Amino acid sequence: MDISLLYFFDLFGTAIFAISGVLLAGRLKMDPFGVVVLAAVTAIGGGSIRDMMLGATPIFWIIDNNYLWVILLTCLTTLILVRRPTKLPWYILPVCDAIGLAVFVGIGVEKSLRLQDSMMIAVLMGVLTGCGGGIIRDILAREIPMVLRSEIYAVACIAGGIVHTSALYFGIDSSPAFLLGVVVTLSIRLAAIRWHLSLPTFQLKG
């Protein structure tokens, strides 16, 4: 994929995930510092862990401070535009999260394949990029991470990552493969939100 286009998607995903962090912080009535922290860990947490695991150091946002500026500007804009986050429709937060999730999975796959050759690792890094920040966000918000609940979340990431890497394997150019993976991840996640699709839960009897 063209580096400039990938960079645009990366900043876009950063903004979207930051919005989901701000909205959750508003729902929990956090102060401005808490809003920024929750937005930041949501936006760059997964990518930070990915870069450390792949040995891509310094981490991306240390090299390029534009990610931090995007987070700060997103926080400020969202706080101005959204006066009463508790009055927002219930689906706003999960839909924002789904968009950021799909974009970040594709970015994680692309970056992983630039640094190593294994498509399995690329899928795993895509899942980590998409889910890592949300896991940290939910833990800080004292909620069970969405990826660990019965909702279809990580499965959507895995499916999108597999479609992305499979498209590359069969000779499809990186840009269409990236978009195809994003569409698959987003479609599955939005379908899960719309129709409340979930995986069976594990529960011990007795």
List pLDDT tens digits, range 54-97: 999 999 999 999 999 999 999 999 988 876 555 668 788 788 88
List pLDDT tens digits, range 141-177: 998 887 887 679 999 999 999 999 999 999 999 999 9
What per-residue confidence (pLDDT) applies to 86? 55
In this predicted structure, the answer to whether residue 187 has a pLDDT above a threshold of 60 is: yes
Q: Which of 46, 68, 42, 71 is nearest to 138 (CA)?
A: 42
Give the C-alpha separation, 181 to 186, whole Å: 9
What per-residue confidence (pLDDT) applies to 59? 95
What per-residue confidence (pLDDT) applies to 30? 92
The C-alpha torsion from 30 through 153 and 173 to 170, rounded to 10°, is: 160
What per-residue confidence (pLDDT) applies to 58? 95
CB atoms inside a 10 Å sphere around CB 123: 25
In this predicted structure, the answer to whether residue 43 has a pLDDT above a threshold of 80 is: yes
In this predicted structure, the answer to whether residue 132 has a pLDDT above a threshold of 70 is: yes
The CA-atom distances, in angstroms, between 81 and each of 84, 135, 203 are 9, 26, 43
In this predicted structure, the answer to whether residue 202 has a pLDDT above a threshold of 80 is: no
C-beta separation of 198 from 192 below 8 A = yes
Tokens encoding 193: 């939100």
Q: What is the pTM of this model?
A: 0.92
What per-residue confidence (pLDDT) applies to 150? 62
What is the pLDDT confidence band of residue 37, given thresholds at 50, 70 and 90?
very high
Mean pLDDT of the chain: 90
What is the pLDDT confidence band of residue 9, given thresholds at 50, 70 and 90?
confident
List pLDDT tens digits, range 106-130: 999 999 999 999 999 999 999 999 9
Question: Where in the chain are the domains?
Answer: 3-195
What is the pLDDT confidence band of residue 100, given thresholds at 50, 70 and 90?
confident
List pLDDT tens digits, range 18-28: 998 998 898 89
CB atoms inside a 10 Å sphere around CB 128: 24
Helix (H) or strand (E) holding 116: none
